[in-house]
Each structure stands twice: as C-alpha cells, then as structure tokens.
Amino acid sequence: MGSTSDSFAPAMSSNSEAVNATSGPIASMGASFLGIAETVGGMAMLFGRIVKRLASFSCDGPELWRNLHRMGVKSLPIVIVTALFTGAIMVIQASPIVERYGAQQLVGWAAGFGTLREIGPLLTALMISGRVGANNTAELGTMVVTEQVDALRALAIDPIEFLIAPRFIGIVVTLSLTTIYADALALVGAAYTGEILLGVEPTTFYHGLTGGLLGIGDVLHGLIKSVFFGVLMAVSSCYFGLTVRGGAPGVGRAVNATVVASAAGIFVLDYFISFLLG
Amino acid sequence: MSQDAALTSPERPSPSTQRVAALGALAIELARAGRDLYGVFVRTLFYTVRGRYERGAVLRQMYLMGNQSLFFLTVVMGFIGMILVLQGGLQAERIVPDPTLIGSTYLELLIRDLAASIGALMLATRVGAGIAAEIGSMVVTEQVDALRMCAADPIDYLIKPRFIASVVMTTVLIIWSATIATLTGMGTAYLFFEISPNIFFDLRLVDFGDLSVGLVKCLAYGAAIPIVSGYCGLSTYGGSEGVGWATTRAVVNSSLAVIMLNFFISGAAFLLIGA
C-alpha cells in the first residue's frame, strides 16, 4: 500500500506537469469536463441559495419592481417583432405542404400547435435570453468588477437577497408573461400571412385553431416550458455575472458564456420536458 | 432628441408632443443605425476585395468560430432533431394514419429552413457575442483608437477577417448541423414511432429549390452576423458596462437580423419558386 501511494503521488505530479506541457486531447477533454462540472455545480449551489431566500420571502421589493419593469416592459418591442415574423415564417414554410395536401382547414391547427408547444416558448426564450439574460450578466459583472458587490457585503447586505433574488423572480415572471403575449402575436402573424399567401380566411384559421384538436393543454405545455427556461436562464445569467474576473474583457466573456449556456440548456431542457409532458 | 426639442421651444411641450418627439427620436436613431450598418457592410465588402492581406488572420478566426462552436452546435442541433420529430410525430399520429411521411417532410423543412435558421440563431448568440465582446474590449482599452492612429481602418483589420471566416464557417457548420439533426431525428423516429431509418431518410420531397434556398440562407446569415455584431462592438463606449451592453445588443440584433432575413428570403423564395 505504502509503495503504491508513494509511486502514485509523483506519478500524479509528473502527470500534471506533462498535461501542462503537452495538453493532449484527453487532457483538454478532461479539463473542459471539469469546467462544465464546476459551472453546473456552481449554478446548483446558487439556485439552492436563491430558493432558500425565496422560501423565507427575503427579497427586496423595490428592486423587484424595478427589475420587472426593466426586463419585462423594455423587452416588448423585440418580442413583438420576433413573434410576428416567426408566425409569418411558420406559415411560409408550411405553405408547400398545405398546398400539396390541400389542407387549408388545417393551417390554423398546424400553426397553433407549432407555436403554442414549441416555437413560441423557444424563440421567446432565446430572444429574452439575449436581451435580458445577457444584460443581467453584464450588469452584475460590472458590479463585481467595480467591487460594488463587495461593498454590499461590507455593509452586511446579503447580495443574494438584494440583487439576485429579485432578478431571478423578474426573469421567470417576464419570460412566462411574454411567452403568452408572443404566442398570441405569432398566431396573429400566422393568420394574416396565411390570408395573403394561401388565401386562407382568418376565420378559417380561427376555426382550425379552436376546432377541438388543440386545447388548454397545449398552451400549458408551452407555459410550463417557459417557466423552466426562465429558471435556467436566471440561474445561469446570475452565476456567470457573479463569477466575472478580469475587467472589461471579463464582462464580455461572461456575457458570451451566459448566452451560450442558456441557449444550449434551453434546447436540452426542451427535449426532456416535451418527452415528459408528451 | 426630446431634450433638444424641449430646449428650443420656449414652453414645456405637452405630453402628446413629447410622445411624438420620442417616436421621432426612435425613428432617427433607427435610421442612423441602419445607415452606419450599411456603411460597415459596404466597407467590409470593399476591403474583402481590395484590402491588405494578413497571413493566418482568417484561418485563426475560422478556428475560433468553427471549432469552438462545434460542440455547442452539435448538442443543440441534436436535441432540435429529437424535439421536432417527437412533437411532429405525436401530432401527425392524431391526424394522418400513416406516420412514415414524417421523414420526407422533416428533411424538406430541415434543408429548406430549420437547419440554417436555428443553426444561425445559435451562431448569432455564440459567434455574435464573441465578436462583440472581443472588439468591444478592444474599443474600451483604446486598441481600436491605436489602430486608427496608425492609419489602419479597424474594419479592414478586425471585421474583414471575421466576415470571411463567418461566411465560410457558417455554411460548413450548418451543413454539419443538418447532418446531426437528421441523424438524431432518424433515431427518435425509430425509437418512438418505429419508422426504420431507410424509410425515414426519404429525399423525394427535397428538390434543387429547397437546397438552393437553404444555401442562400447560410450565406446571408453568415454575412449578417459578423457585420451586425462587429458594428455593435465598434460602437462600444464606456468601461466594462459598455462591453456588456455591446455584447447584449450584438446578440439581440444579430438574432433579429437572422429572423428578418429568414422572413424575406423565405417569402421571396415562395413567390419566385412557388410551392
């Protein structure tokens, strides 16, 4: 035992030196795996702390209202543009299939199911992630770099309670509300594109939408997704914001990491939620 | 702009005038941004043809954009393929008795639109944020001013290599992501709906028009992402907060650019080629 542990220690150190010197493909794979594990672990711990604050209702009220306004109201123009264009694109893409099968009655159903279940929540989440998540990371990162967060700690103010918890609630609420809004607007965009391109009357579209094939379940399916996306986006943007290091370039890198992590996470979560909800 | 109006008029304007002024300010802002963006685009094209040649600059950007986005794009597009086939199949089962048509319809949609558009949205976040963060940091640390002092146009030095690299790598990455999405979709169809891969992989509905529309989209997105985010990076001001703002704007604006280009290209293709 003694000899193995003796030989193990130098082997380890020489190994790590060799890794530093050559950094082969396996070493870099291991390093990126460790990096991912560290990020996920850090996010889980941050999430745990946020939940602990929320469970005891310690969340700064005025900061919450300010964030809701800044995140929700200020994102509306982007959401409106994205939703209208997305609805239009969906009908343009579906139109060859519709004309091939002569299924004009089904346009409303197809656009409705696509929008409510997938495209509405997904695209809204991606745009809000770019607008709100990235902005949130940039703001928190700037606070960290300029030592404002340390100043809060020095004044015995809990940064999680004062900064993070309001942002967490703000992002989750913003995303679920804007998803409802985007669903409706995308359907409007789809209805009028259908009328222009395919000659499907908006009333026919509406009948296809409410004809019994779609129900409140489809709307809830999308909304449940958006709540999960919101939680993921909030935790990742706060985590990357709080762990910024190295001045202005560090803030840029953190924002980049946030949008990448949110986007990848959104699609992975989307699959599993779609699978579980059926 | 609203402040200017308030300064010139002797009394305080009424709320409705202020609202109109705010709207006008927004329109002027948009028009100015559009003009600047157009200027960056034209200058990038000019330097692409007649700029100076720096060895390895384009290759380095290609590596940064291509290899570093590969894993991210593979994960996302793999899940996209599974989601689309799962949701599409579940709905198709309710309407169509024969679910084997999923494969050909899915492949047609993937090649004509989804691979390019979703892949480009992902690249807009990954590559666009990277470009804006990098150039924004250079602006804030006055490296771009140093370039200008040396009579070197930052567009030639910084944006042109990223532009060329992005046009090439977006196309390559999107072809790769279409392959991945096809494979995971095939697997999902086999596992959930018992459609065998050779029935699923049915290219009957994919014609030359679909393929060319998909490729045109790749080129358009590949050109738009570095221009929009490079412009956002170059217009950074302030310190680390400014870099954060620039990166945010780059992500939002390049995603919007992808969605709008998708709308116009899809619409034009529908009107030109037809169903």
What is the percent of chain A where pLDDT is above 90?
31
pLDDT tens for each residue of B101-153: 788 888 888 888 889 999 999 999 889 998 998 999 899 888 999 998 998 88
What is the percent of chain B where pLDDT is above 90?
36
Residue A11 distance to chain B (closest CA, Å): 31
Whether the predicted pLDDT of A2 surpasses 80: no
Residue B10 distance to chain A (closest CA, Å): 31
**Cα–Cα distance list, A238 to A138, A154, A273, B125, B192 (Å):** 10, 20, 23, 18, 37
Whether the predicted pLDDT of B154 surpasses 50: yes
pLDDT tens for each residue of A147-177: 899 999 999 888 888 889 999 999 999 999 9
10 Å Cβ neighbour count for A108?
Answer: 26
- What b/e readout covers A39-72, taking b as 16+ CB neighbours within 10 angstroms? beebbeebbeebeebeeeeebbeebbeebbebbb
Q: Residue B226 and residue B223: Cα distance in Å, rounded?
A: 6
pLDDT tens for each residue of A64-123: 888 899 888 888 988 999 999 999 988 888 887 777 777 777 788 888 888 888 889 999
Assign B7 a pLDDT band (cuts: 50, 70, 90).
very low
Whether the predicted pLDDT of A229 surpasses 50: yes
Whether the predicted pLDDT of B191 surpasses 80: yes
The total number of structural domains in chain A stands at 1
Contact state of B248 with A141 under an 8 Å Cβ cutoff: no
Interface of B with A in 8-37 (CB under 8 A): none
Residue B14's identity, in one-letter code, is S
Chain B hits for A260, Cβ within 8 Å = 72, 125-126, 129
Instruction: Tell me, yes or no, if A19 comes closer than 8 A to chain B by beta carbon.
Output: no
Residue B50 distance to chain A (closest CA, Å): 31
What pLDDT does A79 receive?
92
Residue A11 lies in a domain: no
Residue A1 lies in a domain: no
- What b/e readout covers A227-247, taking b as 16+ CB neighbours within 10 angstroms? bbbbbbbbbbbbbbbbbbeeb
Residue A110: domain span: 59-277
This model of the complex carries an ipTM of 0.80
Residue A154 lies in a domain: yes
Residue B61 distance to chain A (closest CA, Å): 16
Interface of B with A in 128-157 (CB under 8 A): 129-130, 132-134, 136-137, 140-141
pLDDT tens for each residue of B239-255: 778 888 888 889 999 99
pLDDT (average), residues A121-137: 91
Query: Who among A138, A253, A260 is closest to B241 (CB)?
Result: A138
Chain A hits for B243, Cβ within 8 Å = 138, 248-249, 251-252, 255
Length of chain A equals 278
- Do A114 and A214 meet the contact criterion of CB atoms below 8 Å apart? no
Q: Is the overall model pTM greater than 0.90, yes or no?
A: no
Of B150, B123, B134, B159, nearest in space to B42 by CA: B159
Residue A44 distance to chain B (closest CA, Å): 21
Q: Share the mean pLDDT of chain B.
A: 86
Contact state of B112 with A278 under an 8 Å Cβ cutoff: no
Interface of A with B in 147-206 (CB under 8 A): 197
pLDDT (average), residues B200-211: 84
What pLDDT does A95 receive?
81
